[in-house]
Amino acid sequence: METTVANTGTEGKTWGGGNQPLKVTYGKMMMWFFIVSDALTFSGFLAAYGFSRFKFIDSWPIADEVFNHFPFLHGVNAPMYYVALMTFILIFSSVTMVLAVDAGHHMKQKKVIIYMFLTIIGGAIFVGSQAWEWKNFIKGEYGAIETKGGQILQFVDTNGHRVALHDIAIIDTHKNRMQHERKNGVWYDKEDALPSYTVDEIKAGFAKRNDLLIRTQILTEEGEKTILSREESLRRINTDAVGIVEGANLIHNEYGTPLFANFFFFITGFHGFHVFSGVVINIIIFFNVIIGTYERRKNYEMVEKVGLYWHFVDLVWVFVFTFFYLV
């Protein structure tokens, strides 16, 4: 494939630059080396995640409890099914990509167009799904109590089923107060959004209901979270509780250690950004295919190069899927 670079007069001169030891074009080789460096970036993130996880090996959130939503099945506990579907969609878009590359080798413009189109659709669905996962994660489900030491205490009934904050709280209307914003307080001062309940409201509700217990972050031998006895639960909530956590952000996380949320946002966010840019590049190449650029160039190597990038994005997801959802 000598088409992309003009002949330089060195052809056949082994020691004069006319030799191609790796037998690939400049563009493809550089795409490979970019992929290597990007792979090392992702490994750095995943290794850092592994570090934090080994550091908190007996108190890490359980992924099955965090990612258990499925579209249109509200309230159904469906661990991992949706992320498995997302993985499947991304692998399938990889397949259509490689089919596009294959069609390109045979100069079949129509087929390349169809397959590129399917690839773009698959990528778009994946990014959308990722956004939906983020939404669920940020919103949270049951809510929890945070202690002085930043530990998370969750509520369960005697059967071990999770109980949400709104089922516990006894609302004290006298203590309701407005969020302090710039527009209604001192103009240079404001505070974060207030949680739906105060710690005292939860404490009051918890004391009234004898069937409630507290579940800590610490994992038992069986890999489940420790459930405290009623006395221990009461002692814990009355001495340690300082705040309410609903959902997750970079500082608080109702599912457990905030590091889990930080790594989740950062790694899936960085990957999602790759998918997004992959979709954009795919769209550009897609239009180039439609207007016949590569027909005139008489080779579809650009499709191959963007294909390499797209497969790499899929490759990274395979690892992210394993380390965030399975392991």
Partner 1 sequence: MAHDMAHHESNTKRIWYVFFLLSVITIVEVGFGIWKPDFMKATFISMKWLNWFFIILTLVKAYYITWAFMHMEGETKGLRRAVVWTAIFLICYLMFILLTEGDYIYEVFKAGHKSWDF
Rounded Cα–Cα distance for residues 255 and 253 (Å): 5
Of 92 and 117, nearer to partner 1 (C-beta) is 92
Which of these segments, 29-37, 157-165, 183-191, 247-255, binds partner 1 (CB under 8 A)?
29-37
The answer for residues whose C-beta is within 8 angstroms of residue 66's C-beta and 6 or more apart is 137, 255, 260
Which of these segments, 54-62, 157-165, 171-179, 270-278, binds partner 1 (CB under 8 A)?
54-62
Number of residues lying near partner 1 (CB under 8 A)? 68
Residue 315 in the binding site for partner 1 (CB under 8 A): yes
Residue 242 in tokens:
């300082």
Long-range contacts of 246-253 (CB under 8 A, 24+ apart): 246/140, 246/143, 246/165, 246/195, 246/196, 247/137, 247/138, 247/139, 247/140, 247/143, 248/137, 248/138, 248/140, 249/138, 252/146, 253/61, 253/152
Residue 1 in the binding site for partner 1 (CB under 8 A): yes
Judged by CB under 8 A, the residue of 56, 265, 266, 270 near partner 1 is 56
Q: Any idea of the CA torsion for 313, 72, 145, 203, to the nearest 10 degrees?
A: 180
Q: How far is CA 237 from the centre of its chain?
A: 32
Which of these segments, 44-52, 181-189, 200-208, 261-269, binds partner 1 (CB under 8 A)?
44-52
Q: Any idea of the CA torsion for 59, 60, 63, 69, to the nearest 10 degrees?
A: 80
Residue 1 in tokens:
């494939």
Which of these segments, 93-101, 167-175, 206-214, 288-296, binds partner 1 (CB under 8 A)?
93-101
Check: CB of residue 257 under 8 Å from CB of residue 133: no
* Closest distance to partner 1 from the beta carbon of 7 (Å): 14
Residue 79 in the binding site for partner 1 (CB under 8 A): yes
Residue 41 in the binding site for partner 1 (CB under 8 A): no
Nearest Cα to Cα of residue 63 among 268, 314, 312: 268
Nearest Cα to Cα of residue 144 among 220, 41, 225, 42: 225
Judged by CB under 8 A, the residue of 102, 167, 232, 295 near partner 1 is 102
Residue 122 in tokens:
């698959």
Which of these segments, 22-30, 188-196, 201-209, 284-292, binds partner 1 (CB under 8 A)?
22-30
Residue 160 in the binding site for partner 1 (CB under 8 A): no
Residue 12 in the binding site for partner 1 (CB under 8 A): no
Q: Which residues form the interface with partner 1 (CB under 8 A)?
A: 1, 3, 21-24, 29, 32-33, 35-36, 39-40, 43-44, 47-48, 50-58, 64, 79-81, 84, 87-88, 91-92, 94-95, 97-99, 101-102, 105-107, 147-149, 151, 216, 218, 223, 240, 298-299, 307-308, 311-312, 314-315, 318-319, 321-322, 325-327
